[in-house]
Amino acid sequence: MGAMLDRMEPLLAAMPAVRPPEGHVHFKNKLLWTVAVLILYFLLTNVQVFGLSADSSDWLGMYRAILAGASGSIVHLGIGPIVTASIVLQLLNGADLLGINTREPRGQVMYMGLQKLLILVMIVLEAAPNVIGGFLQPDANIALTLFGGSLATVSFLIFLQLCIGGLIIFLMDEVVTKWGVGSGVGLFIVAGVSQGLINGFLNWAAVQDAYPVGFFPRLFAIIADGANLMEYFSLDILALITTVFIFGLVVYAESTRIEIPLAHATVRGARGRFPVKLIYASVLPMILVRVLQANWQMFGLFLNNIGITFLGKFEGQTPVNGIMYVTAPINSPNDWMWWLTDLGHPVWEVLLRMGIDLIVMVVGGAIFALFWVKTAGLDSSHVARQIQRSGMSIPGYRRNEQVLERYLDRYIPRVTVIGGVAVGVLSVLANYLGVIGAVGGTGLLLTVSIIYRLYEEIANEQIMEMYPFMRSFFGKE
């Protein structure tokens, strides 16, 4: 594959990109760029796709919290193409099939170019099934009025708008990464989940029964009506407890760390610590696992819509039998609490589905955490090089990159796997018990972790503003 990539180098170098800053970007300017992109994101979620029929469906509905975007809007695809491309690239890179040395500037350019090329391909591959599979249907009245009844023309316009929206999200992610604080992917996830949480607490609409779906409006309405709280509100109380529990546990896990002491080689008294957190790879690898599940479910739903049902049948976007049912993730207590509702499946099938979901999340969390650490430059070799360049070293050890790497190997790989497994278990547990709003356990985990790390990054930025020599240690120069 290395020879093929060499021939593709001119194409990879010509991929669309946001111009990086030429020097240091002041912290206030980073905040302004981040806020501006966030406002633009919210505006785009309210720009509806032209020509879309009201009969359209959203197969991403249960994954909206982690894939961002908004159903039927120009950013309908959300961060799906970006994450899917990352999955493919991490698998190829983890298996050493790319043959790209990311330690060299040329290798870094080729790797980033290949990632962008894959994102563009995934935008097309994820937009096409939405139209071809019948999920996003053209409006017959618009087709008749403007295009002489040609539904194919309207469908193509819908496809084109989805591709444009996917490209905009990709460029906005680059703007935040290069000019703002954090990453666009994390920012969009936080925005979407925050909306879901507010909706889950305050929504006055009645959907499932005669009472509102929002936590507080539902509570007041049930009390005012004199209805049985345990009958109509028990799952809501469980969701509130789970939400608070997950929030506190993730904050605790993020603050749990092994601190490796460091001392500066030339500045006497200058000391520091390199933290190896329990959730070292962050919660973002969970997105990769959920996106794999989402793509698998989309594949089954696409086959079902064109009349191929050997993997299982669907009712709407819900699998009802076959392989697609037992491999579908658990998203709420209503998916597995057979004693509360008639699921239409024997208990052994429900337990099998729960077991597969748990195994996929735990094993996938550990594997993708390792891939993420290597790809993001957080593995022992990259960290050792970063510490070496900053002029720091571990007291009592020879100032040598290989020595640092061997020392870090005692902790980073093990903590990465433990953290990936822990996050997988926690995500499944949150989904089993349910959380406030239609955000899912994984969405809540991601949001709390991203906000906590964003707070830490803001603190680091302020430190670097006060002490510019620290920028080299944080890899900002």
pLDDT confidence band for 439 (50 / 70 / 90): confident
Give the closest residue to 321 by CA, choosing from 304, 338, 302: 304
Query: What is the strand order of the sheet 392-393 is part of?
Result: 271-277, 257-264, 392-393
Q: How far is CA 220 from CA 176, 235, 423, in A?
A: 41, 16, 35
Q: Could you tell me if 173 and 221 lie in one domain?
A: no
In 210-221, which positions are buried (b, 16+ CB within 10 angstroms) versus exposed (e)? ebbbbbebbbeb
Mean pLDDT, residues 212-237 taken together: 83
Q: Could you tell me if 276 and 397 lie in one domain?
A: yes
In 249-282, which positions are buried (b, 16+ CB within 10 angstroms) versus exposed (e)? bbeebbeebbebebbbeeeeeeebebebbbbbbb
pLDDT score at 471:
55
pLDDT score at 1:
56
Q: Could you tell me if 230 and 166 lie in one domain?
A: no
Least confident of 92-101, 282-291, 445-454: 92-101
Q: For residues 221 and 289, give the distance between their C-alpha atoms in angstroms, rounded to a whole number.
A: 39
Mean pLDDT, residues 325-342 taken together: 86
Examine residue 194 and state whether it is found in any structural domain, yes or no.
no
Dihedral over Cα of 260, 266, 269, 270: its sign: negative
Examine residue 186 and state whether it is found in any structural domain, yes or no.
no
Of 136, 164, 181, which one is at a domain's C-terminal end?
Answer: 181
pLDDT tens digits, one per residue of 131-165: 887 788 899 888 888 888 888 899 999 999 999 99
pLDDT tens digits, one per residue of 395-413: 777 777 888 888 888 888 8
Q: Could you tell me if 127 and 169 lie in one domain?
A: yes
Give the closest residue to 426 by CA, choosing from 354, 335, 365: 365
pLDDT tens digits, one per residue of 172-186: 999 998 888 888 888
Of 181, 198, 227, which one is at a domain's C-terminal end?
Answer: 181
The amino acid that residue 155 corresponds to is: S
Please say if the pLDDT value at position 248 is more than 70. yes
Mean pLDDT of the chain: 83
pLDDT confidence band for 268 (50 / 70 / 90): low
Compute how many other C-beta atoms are within 10 angstroms of the C-beta atom of residue 145. Answer: 10
Q: Could you tell me if 147 and 279 lie in one domain?
A: no
Q: How far is CA 138 from CA 8, 47, 143, 305, in A?
A: 37, 17, 8, 16
Please say if the pLDDT value at position 278 is more than 80. yes
Element (H, E) at 326: helix 322-326
Q: Highest-confidence range of 19-23, 71-75, 254-258, 472-476, by mean pLDDT?
A: 71-75
pLDDT score at 136:
87
Of 139, 163, 181, which one is at a domain's C-terminal end?
Answer: 181
Examine residue 66 and state whether it is found in any structural domain, yes or no.
yes
Q: Which long-range contacts (CB under 8 A, 24 or more apart) does 265-272 make?
A: 265/391, 265/392, 265/393, 265/399, 266/391, 267/391, 272/392, 272/473
pLDDT tens digits, one per residue of 6-40: 677 777 777 777 888 877 788 888 889 999 999 99
Compute how many other C-beta atoms are within 10 angstroms of the C-beta atom of residue 225. Answer: 11
pLDDT score at 199:
87
Q: Could you tell me if 150 and 7 lie in one domain?
A: yes
Please say if the pLDDT value at position 473 is more than 60. no
Task: Tell me the percentage of the chain whose pLDDT exceeds 90.
Answer: 17
Mean pLDDT, residues 76-92 taken together: 83
Please say if the pLDDT value at position 475 is more than 60. no
φ/ψ bin of 434: left (φ > 0), alpha (ψ from -120 to 50), beta (otherwise): left
Mean pLDDT, residues 326-337 taken together: 88
Q: Could you tell me if 426 and 477 lie in one domain?
A: yes
Paired with 274 in beta bridges are: 260
Total domains, the chain: 2
Q: For residues 66 and 289, give the distance between their C-alpha atoms in angstroms, rounded to a whole number.
A: 11
Compute how many other C-beta atoms are within 10 angstroms of the C-beta atom of residue 7. Answer: 8
Examine residue 207 and state whether it is found in any structural domain, yes or no.
no
pLDDT score at 2:
57
Task: Tell me the percentage of the chain whose pLDDT exceeds 70.
Answer: 91
Least confident of 93-102, 163-172, 320-329, 390-399: 93-102
pLDDT score at 97:
67
Write the CB contacts of 152 (distance below 8 Å, at least 6 apart in sequence): none
pLDDT score at 157:
94
Examine residue 38 and state whether it is found in any structural domain, yes or no.
yes
pLDDT score at 120:
92
Query: Are residues 49 and 72 in contact, defined by beta-carbon separation less than 8 angstroms?
Result: yes
Element (H, E) at 145: helix 140-146
* Residue range of the domain that includes 335: 212-477
Q: Could you tell me if 285 and 390 lie in one domain?
A: yes
Examine residue 472 and state whether it is found in any structural domain, yes or no.
yes
Please say if the pLDDT value at position 470 is more than 70. no
Examine residue 413 and state whether it is found in any structural domain, yes or no.
yes
State the DSSP string of 405-421: HHHHTTTHHHHHHHHHH
Mean pLDDT, residues 224-230 taken together: 80
pLDDT tens digits, one per residue of 285-328: 787 888 888 888 888 888 888 888 888 998 877 888 889 999 99
Element (H, E) at 41: helix 27-44
Q: For residues 282 and 285, give the distance between their C-alpha atoms in angstroms, rounded to a whole number.
A: 7
Please say if the pLDDT value at position 366 is more than 80. yes
First to last CA, the chain: 32
Q: Could you tell me if 288 and 378 lie in one domain?
A: yes
pLDDT confidence band for 94 (50 / 70 / 90): low
Q: Could you tell me if 225 and 167 lie in one domain?
A: no
Q: Could you tell me if 280 and 428 lie in one domain?
A: yes
Half-sphere exposure in the Cβ direction for 403 (13 Å, CA) = 10
In 397-421, which positions are buried (b, 16+ CB within 10 angstroms) versus exposed (e)? eeeeeeebbeebeeebbebbbebbb
> How many degrees, rounded to 5, is the angle at CA 117 between CA 114 and CA 121?
135
Residue bearing tokens 């990054």:
457
Examine residue 202 and state whether it is found in any structural domain, yes or no.
no
Q: Could you tell me if 269 and 381 lie in one domain?
A: yes
pLDDT score at 227:
79
Paired with 314 in beta bridges are: 319
User: For residue 128, what are its two tokens?
Assistant: 């096409």
Query: Are residues 239 and 431 in contact, defined by beta-carbon separation less than 8 angstroms?
Result: no
Q: For residues 345 and 324, give the distance between their C-alpha atoms in angstroms, rounded to a whole number.
A: 13
Domain of 391: which CATH number?
1.10.3370.10
Mean pLDDT, residues 78-93 taken together: 81
